[in-house]
Structure 1
Amino acid sequence: MTTDPLLGRLVDGRYEITARIARGGMATVYLALDRRLDRQVALKVMHPHLADGVEGAAFVSRFRREARAAARLAHPGVVAVYDQGFDGETSYLTMEYVPGSNLRRLLRSEGTVPLGRTLDILDQVLGALAAAHRKGLVHRDVKPENVLITAYEGGAGDDADGRVKVADFGLARAVTEVTSTTTGTILGTVAYLAPEVIATGACDARTDVYAVGVLAFEMLTGTLPHDGTTPIQVAFQQVHDDIASPATLVPWLPEPVAELVTRFVSRDPARRPVDGGEALDALRAARLAIRSTDPEALGRRADPPAGFAPAPRPGPSADPSDDDDADSPTSGDSLDADQLDAIPVAATVSPATPPEGIDAWFPPEGSDLATERVVEQPTTRVDASDPPAPAAPDAPRRRRWPRVLAWVLTLTVLLGGGGYGAWWWFEDGPGAWTTVPAGLENATLDEAAEILAAHGLEADSTEAHDDAVPEGAVVSVSPGEGGDVRKDGTVELVVSLGVRMVTVPEGLVGAQQSDAEAALTAAELTVGRATQEWSDTVPQGEVMAASHDANESVPHSTAVTLTVSGGPAPVTVTQQVGRDRADAQAALEDLGFAVELTEDEASETVPAGRVIRQSPESGTRAHRLDTVTLTVSSGPPIIEVPNVVGLRTGAATDALTEAGFEVETVKYLGGILDTVRFQDPEGTAPKGSPVRITVW
């Protein structure tokens, strides 16, 4: 067993490492206790080799810049960045600790994810990316390992209904820059990299959308779109082969979802949504379409791929023995994390030239600069044959003075040493230190200052909001209670300002959902899961109501829930052909449709005043306020009546019958002459109507 040297270490005098959570290709993540604020945090310690060599200083600069950029991103779906610093050679990043699991472990244990849950996860991931893209930040490394699923409050380890948070914003850029400069490679899990990143190194918000599309494909089918034994094989397929629709593996998958995933993973960036906000709108439109046409599909799940062996479902807490690769796509691969993530860029960048004068930092062996010369004082050789000088007559009397002088010097040294020892004991030694008294936390500032003053200590206070400690009470103490502090030292106290209150922004009702959520995020409020209602008057996607009024002052942790319009409710068009005009129009209007009547048409089969046809046809799914067009019969067509006066009875009958009329014959005197003398009507008449002929 190998013991991690950082376990139990106090980083930067503040973060006490208690357990190792995960280790990846670029960093190791630890669970740590922030002694100053007394809270658990996730401490991400970068591997030392990233800051080694000539490019080490450049990486340190990039690491600081990207950490600051990530810290500016405040969103409930993003793992918060608290702090960044260096402790000796250790470069670290302090982040929000998210108890739970991640999407990779969920896929290992389940194989596939139900359609409804997949859309929920993608909705939250895209919401976080949309917030980042609005601030000009691109994640660059979206993959299942960076999609964290918080522990469900209803039971430990049950992450199926947990909230989703996206981790590692900004870090991929710093590591990619230093790696591509020194080695000609870029970092990122190959299976989720967009083709343009592999081919040219280009990267924008659409590359994050591509990675989300691959996530969706993997959750729905249980497999990755492209597979290969080496990263370069996968990269080649990413650049040259289109990703097939997930419906080829899951035939029952609704068409809106299949089209959505295909659009996200298009090789052409121009065919993808331009950013996370547009992708989120497309996702919600697809979900709405499924709810209207096939709501039962949301509960369905594809069968896991052949040979799938479910892994044990992990618990929510960090396990020191759990060393899952935090940056590689799978565990147990034959390739390590660095090999799996590193792929060549299109044009290799030459290593940077060492700074001028660098040789002066490391003098060559054997040079004058390598060691410092020491000049010794020469001595004089004494010849043993020379006789010693005779002693003076009074020498025996003078020999007491050296002894007295030696005793005086010894006594002086002892007294001086004792004095220095006493001074050191009370100035820098154990006598100069005392312990921080107890009873400071949760006391008022005045009470804490009195306790410290009674122990000869001073108090230095700062203020911070706290959700648990009342306003005016001490939140934390540094050094902590029982810790060492100089007798004349100062103890830092953090005093609570109480719960931080924020104001609900105006203009939520009537705004588009994405704009309203952005306003809530800017106001540092939590965005609750929106509900949908049908409305004939409010356009689709517009906020109809909010759980809290505008300008209302609420705690910063309050979740504001939006009610969003789904537009007019879906309705099925009913059969109106053959019905009377008025009855058909009334029936459609009762369903919420607008009715449009075309010009009446003649019909030999449909009586006048009844519906000949309708558009849309019966059984079509439509929405309230949609228009249904009706065409009504005007009766038989009006045609010319043949003139049969003077014709024989048979010829007259044939002519009228061929023209489409019924013949009624009236004979006088028995029709002795068999000649038509009169006909009624003459000119025009409705086709099929009777024509009376009088025969003499």
Structure 2
Amino acid sequence: MNSTFDPLVGQVLDSRYEIVAKVARGGMATVYRARDLRLSRVVALKVMRSDLGEDDEFVAKFDREARSAAVLSHPNVVSVFDQGISQGQPYIVMEFVDGETLRRVISREAPLRPERALTHLEDVAAALASAHEAGVVHRDIKPENVLISHRGQLKVVDFGLARRVGSPQMTATGVLVGTASYLPPELVTHSRPDSRSDIYSSGVMLFELLTGTKPHTGENNYQIAYRHVNVDVPRPSERMRETGRRTGWPIPDYLDALVRAATARDPEKRIPDGRELLKQVRRSLHELESHGYADNPALAAELEPEPSGGDLTQPITPRPERPRPAVTRVLPKQPAAPVSPEPRWEPEMPASPRTPSPTPIPAPPHKAMPERPPHGPRSQRTPVFHVSKSPVHRRRRGAVALLLVILLTAGAAVGSWWWVDGRFTTVPAMANQTEAAINDAAETAELRLNTTSAHHEEVPAGQVIASDPAAGERVLRDTTVDVVISLGPERFSMPEVVGLTLDEASDALTGTNLVVGKVTEAWNEEKPAGEVLSASQEAGAELKRDTPVDLTVSKGPQPIAIENFTGRSATAAKEALGKAGFKVEVTQEHNADVKKGTVISQTPGSGNGKRGDTIAVVESLGPVMVTVPDVRYKSTAEAEKLLADAGLQYETKRASDFPLPLDIAAGTDPQAGTEVPEGTKVTLLIT
């Protein structure tokens, strides 16, 4: 808010509070951001308007706000630090909350997820529990009076209407001060607030958090107040269906019941105080966190308020516009009425046994006397018009005058009756009636019907859900009444999603007005990755709109690490790889360098595979064995050829000391017939 031209910006109150900037302006006071020079901290400074400083009632109300909030010490209530008067203007020093109001959150983001709405209401309920236990009733709970800091901390502010229980009312008899959209019915009818009044306003606020709309609206505050007194707050889930808003999450039945329990029109049927409201909010929040958005009929039935024993409807009569008389009266000079301190409404209520009628204004003591005719008697008992001297003339004139008076009186009576009562009719009860029955009732009441259809969880198909105006309301004849006919519970058939991809299953659910719930992935040896394996709802099941459906999706075959057995036992390799889920194909071959029974090679030898994959293992048979040939008595050349043909290597060595070499083979080492690995070097003995 622009504070450039505010005269208080830059001033220091009581040599301590330096006003830095204007934050907000209300009907009774302006709030500034200030700096406490003594304690070096930022505070909020609420300064009463200068034109109200001389009004004792507003000064008392301002003082009452400080005292009401000062008795409270709770993290969800804005703390009051100090109070004083500077230059005739009372002020209150409070905790400064750097953030925004809940109204801005609702305007920007509502409808909120149920868990977030309950979390906000939990903090409000905690603040009210502290206030009610201290004997303080707030009387003006609304989103504008709930602040949320940038760190997410919620605080209730503005105890300007708060009062201690048992203290006298600050407003005149028959005058109600409050905010129309959050007004409890009992404050409209007899202005006697208690802790249950705060609960009603909190319930309305929860309705707005869940739906993004107010439960009752009208062209003016009187219409809104009338609906608070005479019409139950609807269930949030019903409002969401009526408005057609798609959020992606349903509102569980126990949250509908919680709103109904907090906003029961009969205070005796309502949640009694902030402590009990806090208990039920936490209970609902635990249920929501434990089971998601699933309904809990048992909890809903426990929270649902009992039906009221009698008719709670009350007439609300706004002050009528009265035509000004043609004759001007000279009234004594009256003092000007004080300006309403807050931007709230003040309807005048009709007199009742509990509400004394306002004292009538006495007739003014002086009147301007009509001008005296130029001729005629001066006595006050003498008529000022000329009187005929003929008796017959006088009798005729009197009869005509009497007839005229009778006709005028009758016409006025008929006209008054028509204007006040005759042109009106009463909307008949239509809820739970068939369409044929309401057509007859509307014809009798001289009303027209505009019917629409909607699904409803409780009202059978073909019967009326609600009417607008509601039953019992007084309307002009030939008025069009909007009537909603039930189509029965709204249900959608669960599609077959098993075997589809996740994207295909999501499209199928969305197209059937259902939503994807929790998605879980699982390994599967047969189904490819991304294919839906199972769903939490059976195909063909009839489900509510926006019911979450949990899906299990395949991640494909589970990867298996491949262990390398090269150089290790082939038997161990076959056993371990087979146990891991692989198929093992074993081939054998001779290898002079690898011991028999050992793995020469493995394919693949590393990385990951999947169950059923084939791994090739080459098992060593050891080297090729050959038999040393018999070379005795062969010539040296023949012996060498025999050894070479057998795949053996050889070296020659003289076997005797005979002086003349004969070049005849005497044998081999190892001897003939011995099996040795191919390529073994054999010693050829020569004589």
TM-score tier (shorter): 0.3 to 0.5
Higher-Rg member (1/2): 2
Bigger RCO (CA 8 Å, 6+ sep)? 1
User: When the two structures are superposed, what TM-score results if normalisation uses the length of structure 1?
Assistant: 0.41
Please report the TM-score for the alignment, with normalisation by the length of structure 2. Answer: 0.41
